[in-house]
């Protein structure tokens, strides 16, 4: 049965639909897009081979004109050039303000398309159709959009909410295992920052998740989206609590930038970052040795790295983390678990703690 959630943001509120087969459900689509104007699907060379024609068909059945902008695949293309390629496509197709963009793909396509939607003619509608686990549980919800700069990850962007998020769980069937693992890093993150019982659910259901058991995956995606929707409702523009969604990301973004975009997947870098943040919590006594080991073991059990790249030093981390968007007055801020199931922002890490965490 279809699960539905709302991200409550006043007149910018929007639904999240979760089920198998939603790409073909024109009844769902009919409720999510305007009945006029151009519809432009933005996707990439990989995802288009699996899912584009089905989505185009559903939109056509609504009587709408649809065209598709197909970008190269990869984190290294989440950049100004791809953004410009979308702008050129929209202008060449005479798109106006009544255009709806549909992001069909993982977080890279979602972030790029959302930023294009925020920028084209100062803002057009967009719908997220995430196709990776990571984008099901995280990037498609909450309106963070943007692109990378060679000097820093996600440094250019906008808060811009979609009109709807349509999650077709059956897309996970074609997802490579390494990408499923990367998504699990963000899933596990929710357990650590928000909900110990969810962390335990993940410990108990790792095998079912990897078998893509429909009921378990549906529950996992629903619980993650519920947490994210609640946090974004509370703090849309990250003035406060939303920052906790970045557990592991301060260290993780530094890894991604250092290694070159796409060498370590975002989720892999976040997993190593979660271990670093948890090591600080362990040294402060806010998580026990047993809890620390459970965090490491759940990440490892989901085929994720639990240590930084060998070639990276503490100095490399510090040099790159200073660009982190959470930094205030040049002070780097980290999300550190207060216990298993609760985390908060800390800006008082000593050099020794950072050295120990990044060793
Ligand atoms: P991705 O978009 O690069 O997708 C991963 C790979 O899987 C790509 O090669 C893609 O073509 C392929 N793919 C996608 N769906 C597929 C499917 N169903 N079957 C087969 N292959 C498929 O990576 P991602 O992990 O989805 O997203 C990572 C990005 O998301 C990063 O840029 C990260 O910064 C961003 N992100 C954004 C937010 C946010 O709040 N906006 C949150 C977390 C992450
Ligand atoms: N992924 C972090 C956030 O959406 O705030």
Same domain, 153 and 269: no
Binned at pLDDT 50, 70 and 90, residue 101 comes out as very high
Contact, 81 vs 123, CB < 8 A?
no
Which residue CA neighbors atom 21 of ligand 1 most closely?
Answer: 175
Which pLDDT value is given to residue 331? Answer: 85
Mean pLDDT on 216-224: 98
Same domain, 195 and 287: yes
> 30-34, 48-52, 285-289: which has the minimum mean pLDDT?
30-34
Which pLDDT value is given to residue 39? Answer: 98
Q: Is 108 in the pocket of ligand 1 (CB under 6 A)?
A: yes
Burial class of residue 215 (count of CB atoms within 10 Å of its CB; 0-12, 13-18, 19+): exposed
Binned at pLDDT 50, 70 and 90, residue 326 comes out as confident
Q: Which atom of ligand 2 is nearest to the CA of 142?
A: 4
Mean pLDDT on 26-39: 93
Strands 66-71 and 100-105, by their bridges, are: unpaired
- Ligand closest to Cα of 252 equals 1
Which pLDDT value is given to residue 182? Answer: 98
Same domain, 194 and 219: yes
Same domain, 12 and 96: yes
Which pLDDT value is given to residue 325? Answer: 80
Confidence check: pLDDT of 78 > 80:
yes
**Would you call 246 a catalytic residue per the annotation?**
yes
Mean pLDDT of the chain: 96
How many whole angstroms from 108 Cα to the centroid of ligand 1? 5
Mean pLDDT on 125-131: 98
Same domain, 139 and 224: no
Confidence check: pLDDT of 25 > 90:
yes
Residue 160 sits in a domain whose CATH number is 3.40.50.1970
Number of folded domains in the chain?
2
Which pLDDT value is given to residue 153? Answer: 85
For residue 35, the 8-state DSSP code is: S
Could you tell me what percentage of the chain is helix, strand and coil, using 3-state DSSP and rounding each to the nearest 5?
Answer: 55, 20, 30
For residue 146, the 8-state DSSP code is: E
Q: How do residues 1-15 score in pLDDT, each as one tens digit?
A: 999 999 999 999 999
**Would you call 249 a catalytic residue per the annotation?**
yes
**Would you call 92 a catalytic residue per the annotation?**
no
Mean pLDDT on 105-112: 98
Which pLDDT value is given to residue 359? Answer: 87
Mean pLDDT on 329-351: 93
Q: Is 186 in the pocket of ligand 2 (CB under 6 A)?
A: no
Confidence check: pLDDT of 239 > 80:
yes
pTM for this prediction: 0.96
Which pLDDT value is given to residue 91? Answer: 98
Mean pLDDT on 306-330: 89
Which pLDDT value is given to residue 151? Answer: 85
Backbone angles phi, psi at 126, to 5 degrees: -145, 155
Same domain, 79 and 145: yes
End position of a domain, from candidates 174, 207, 236: 174
Q: How do residues 168-186 score in pLDDT, each as one tens digit?
A: 999 999 999 999 999 999 9
Same domain, 214 and 120: no
Same domain, 109 and 246: no
Same domain, 14 and 125: yes
Mutate to test the pocket of ligand 2, among 144, 237, 267 (most ligand atoms within 8 A of CB): 144
Mean pLDDT on 85-90: 98
Q: How do residues 289-300 score in pLDDT, each as one tens digit?
A: 999 999 999 999
Confidence check: pLDDT of 255 > 80:
yes
Confidence check: pLDDT of 47 > 80:
yes
Contact, 321 vs 171, CB < 8 A?
no
Q: Is 245 in the pocket of ligand 2 (CB under 6 A)?
A: yes
Q: Is 157 in the pocket of ligand 1 (CB under 6 A)?
A: no
352: tokens are 């020794």
Helical ranges in 211-288 per DSSP H: 214-234, 249-259, 266-284
Same domain, 349 and 230: yes
Confidence check: pLDDT of 330 > 80:
no
End position of a domain, from candidates 174, 189, 224: 174
Residue 273 sits in a domain whose CATH number is 1.20.1090.10
End position of a domain, from candidates 158, 174, 190: 174
How many whole angstroms from 352 Cα to the centroid of ligand 1? 34
* Distance from C-alpha of 139 to C-alpha of 132, rounded to nearest angstrom: 10
Which pLDDT value is given to residue 152? Answer: 83
Domain of residue 330, residue span:
177-357
Which residue CA neighbors atom 3 of ligand 2 most closely?
Answer: 245
Q: Which atom of ligand 1 is nearest to the CA of 108?
A: 2
Contact, 75 vs 108, CB < 8 A?
yes
Same domain, 99 and 205: no
- Ligand closest to Cα of 157 equals 1
Q: Is 133 in the pocket of ligand 1 (CB under 6 A)?
A: no
| Alpha carbon separation from 319 to 66, 71, 172, 257, 323 (Å, rounded) | 45, 32, 37, 11, 8
Same domain, 254 and 342: yes
């Amino acid at each position: 049965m279809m699960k539905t959630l709302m991200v409550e943001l006043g007149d910018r509120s929007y639904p999240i639909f979760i089920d198998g087969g939603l790409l073909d459900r024109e009844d769902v689509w009919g409720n999510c897009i305007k009945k006029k104007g151009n519809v432009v699907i933005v996707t990439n060379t990989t995802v288009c081979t699996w899912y584009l024609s089905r989505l185009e068909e559903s939109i056509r059945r609504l009587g709408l004109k649809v065209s598709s902008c197909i970008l190269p695949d990869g984190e290294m293309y989440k950049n100004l050039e791809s953004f410009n390629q979308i702008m050129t496509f929209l202008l060449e197709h005479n798109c106006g303000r009544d255009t709806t963009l549909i992001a069909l793909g993982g977080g890279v396509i979602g972030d790029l398309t959302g930023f294009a939607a925020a920028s084209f003619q100062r803002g057009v509608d967009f719908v997220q159709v995430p196709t990776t686990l990571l984008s099901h549980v995280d990037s498609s919800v909450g309106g963070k959009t943007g692109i990378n700069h060679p000097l820093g990850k996600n440094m250019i962007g906008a808060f811009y909410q979609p009109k709807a998020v349509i999650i077709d769980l059956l897309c996970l069937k074609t997802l490579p295992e390494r990408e499923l693992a990367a998504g699990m890093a963000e899933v596990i993150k929710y357990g650590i920052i928000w909900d110990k019982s969810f962390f335990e659910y993940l410990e108990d259901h790792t095998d079912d998740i990897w078998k893509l058991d429909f009921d378990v995956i549906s529950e996992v995606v629903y619980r993650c989206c519920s947490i994210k929707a609640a946090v974004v409702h509370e703090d849309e523009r990250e003035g406060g609590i939303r920052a906790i969604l970045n557990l592991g990301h301060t260290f993780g973004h530094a890894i991604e930038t250092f290694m070159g975009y796409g060498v370590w997947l975002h989720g892999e870098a976040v997993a190593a970052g979660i271990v670093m943040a948890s090591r600080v919590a362990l040294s402060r006594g806010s998580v026990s040795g047993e809890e620390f080991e459970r965090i490491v073991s759940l990440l490892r059990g989901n085929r994720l790295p639990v240590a930084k790249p060998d070639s990276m030093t503490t100095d490399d981390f510090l040099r790159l983390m200073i660009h982190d968007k959470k930094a205030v007055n040049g002070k780097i801020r980290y999300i550190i678990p207060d216990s298993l199931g609760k985390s908060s922002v800390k800006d008082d890490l000593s050099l020794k703690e950072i050295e120990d965490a990044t060793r």
